[in-house]
Structure 1
Amino acid sequence: MAREHTLFVMAQDIPWDEGLYSGTRPGLRSKVLSIDEAGTDATVVVEYPAGWSADGPEHCTAHEEFLVIEGEIEINGISYGMHNYGFFPAGYVRNSASTSDGAKLLTMFYDAPQYQLGETEEPHDPKLLVEHVDPLPTEWDPGLVDPQLSAGVAIKPLRTDPYTQETSFLYMSPPHRVPPGMAKPQWTHSMVEELFCLAGTYVWGDCGRMGPGGYCWWREGVYHGPAGTDVGYMLFVRTVNGPLDNIFDTEKKPFSWDPPYNPQLPERLRKHAKPFTERPLA
């Protein structure tokens, strides 16, 4: 099911809900960043309080993709720290899950999640499993970036879906892109691009300045930009409905470092939206 175009909202401005949107996981808090029309697939920030643990073994009925944005969580004996990543297919068994000091995870659910004790009768798809990625010690790869984009940007790959070629990755830019006075075209994609800002600031010429906690569900065929950064940034990026592509307009438009905040948001988010200010993530 489709989700509404969202570009952009700061996660810090969205209120917390108790548990998850599907009615499971009491004791946690969550913020729904985007959700489909059926109320099933969603992207949320999930807060695990200090001392939380889950009874195991258990499994989730939905695919669960996550990136740690604050704190640390242990799952099946593996410690997931800052910016650590995992993709657990539906039915993947968690024998243990806990956090000592608390954690916040950016989490993508591929259906309305329910957590059930024990193992499932149908085991998870091993081709989908990405048990653990710690991107911190790996090198940034500029060779994975679209050559139409400015020099200096680079990627750390996290996952490529073996069936759909959808991808998840970290994306970074150095500062001073684009210099004042330059003009660039707007651009779009043939697929959905989901963005979450982890560090730095990303300036959208038509929407404003986005900082850590900034979130986008960029629908296919919708043009935005020009865009740039004066201080650099790091983003989590996920593509939906296929691999990443970029479609550039032919007309160049002037770029400013200080555009007004002019978001394109669903009604439920519009009432919470505020311009970016420096504050704790999510």
Structure 2
Amino acid sequence: MARPHILFIQAPALPWRDGLYSGARPEVRSKLLSIDEAGTDATTIVRYPAGWRRDRPEHLTCHEEFLILEGELIINGRSYTRQQYGFLPAGYVHEAAASPAGATVLTMFYDAPQVVAGSPATPHDPALLVEHVDPLGMEWDPGLVDPQLSKGVAIKPLRTDPYTQETSFLYMSPPHRVPPGMAKPQWTHAMVEELFCLAGTYVWGDCGRMGPGGYAWWREREWHGPSGTDTGYLLFVRTIGGPLDNTFATEKKPFRWDPPYTPRLPPELARYARAYEEPPLA
């Protein structure tokens, strides 16, 4: 099912709720960034309280993809800390799980999550499993970036779906990309691109300045931009509906560093919309 076009909302402005949107894990708190029309697939921020633990085997009924924003989550004895990543397919058994000091986790669910005790009747698909990725141990790869984009950007791949070729990756840009006075084209895609800003700021010429916690569900065939960054940025990016495929307009439009915040949001998010404010340096 489809999700509404979102570009963009600052996650810190959204309210926390008890439990997950499906009713599972009532002991955690969560923020709902986007959800499909059926109320099943969703992107959330989940906050595990300090001391959270599960000592008996259990599994989720859906795929769970996650990136640690803060803190530590331990699953089956493996520690996941800041900006570490995992993709656990439906039926993957959590023999034990804990968060001793608490954790805040960007989490994508591929259906309404339900927690079931024990092991499933059908084991998880091992082709989908990405048990642990530590980006700090990886080199940035500029060769994976669309050649039409400005020089200096690079990617750290986290996952490629073996069946759909959907991808998840970290994407970085150095500062001072698109000097004042330049113009760039808008662009779009044949697939959905999901964005979450982890650090720095990303300036959208038609939407405003996205800061840490900025979130977008960029629907297919929606045009946006031009864009640039004066500070540099680090983004988590996920494609839905196939691999990343950019289409650039032929007309260039002027770019400025201080565009007004004019987001495209569904009503349930629009009431929380507020412009990003950079914290003072001192």
- TM-score band, normalised by shorter chain: over 0.9
Could you tell me which residue of structure 1 aligns to residue 212 of structure 2? 212
Count of residue correspondences: 279
Structure-to-structure mapping, 1:13-24, within 5 angstroms: 13-24=13-24
Shift of 1:278: 3.6
Tell me whether 162-171 or 52-61 shows the greater mean CA deviation: 52-61
Q: What's the secondary structure of 1:230's corresponding residue?
A: coil
Alignment-derived partner of residue 270 in structure 2: 270
User: Could you report, residue by residue, the CA deviation over 1:85-133 in whole angstroms, capped at 9, with x for unpaired residues?
Assistant: 0000000000111011110110000000001110000000000000000
- In structure 2, the residue matched to 1:247 is 247
| 1:67 and 2:67 aligned | yes
Alpha-carbon distance in 2 for matches of 1:76, 1:6: 35
Runs of 4+ in 1 over 4 A off after TM superposition: none
Percent identity at matched positions? Answer: 73
Secondary structure of 2:172's aligned partner: strand
Measured after TM superposition, the shift of residue 137 of structure 1 is 1.6
Q: Give the secondary-structure state (helix, strand or coil) at the position aligned to 1:136.
A: helix
Q: What residue is the counterpart of 1:110 in the other structure? A: 110
Aligned to 1:149: 149
SS of the aligned residue for 1:119 comes to coil
1:128-186: CA deviations, max 9, x gaps? Answer: 00000001121000000000000000000000000000000000000011100000000
Task: Note the alpha carbon deviations across 1:193-214, whole angstroms, 9 max, x for none.
Answer: 0000000000000000000000
User: Map of 1:72-111 to 2, 5 A cutoff?
Assistant: 72-111=72-111
Instruction: Give me the TM-score of the superposition, normalised by structure 1.
Output: 0.98
DSSP-derived class of the 2:146 partner: coil
Separation in 1, partners of 2:164, 2:58: 27
1:140 counterpart residue number: 140
Alignment-derived partner of residue 200 in structure 2: 200
Alignment of 1:180-195 (within 5 A): 180-195=180-195
- SS at 2:104's partner residue? strand
CA distance in 2, matches of 1:278, 1:262: 17
Task: For 1:4 and 1:133, locate their aligned partners in 2 and report how far apart those are by CA, in whole Å.
Answer: 30
Amino acid at match of 1:217: W
Determine the structure 2 residue equivalent to 1:35.
35
3-state DSSP of counterpart to 1:231: coil
Q: Deviations over 1:38-97 (max 9, x none)?
A: 000000000001111124200000000000011111000000011000000000000111
- Letter matched to residue 63 of structure 1: H
Question: For residue 224 of structure 1, what is the aligned residue in structure 2?
Answer: 224
User: Is residue 130 from structure 1 mapped to residue 116 from structure 2 by the alignment?
Assistant: no
Greater Cα shift, 48-57 or 22-31? 48-57
Amino acid corresponding to residue 213 of structure 1 in structure 2: G
Query: What is the match of residue 120 of structure 1?
Result: 120
Letter in 2 for 1:13: A
Instruction: State how far apart, in whole Å, the 1-side matches of 2:245 and 2:182 are.
Output: 24
Distance, in Å, in 1 between the alignment partners of 2:18 and 2:77 is: 27
Q: Distance in 1 between matches of 2:56 and 2:231?
A: 44
How far residue 277 of structure 1 moved from its aligned partner, in angstroms, is 1.8
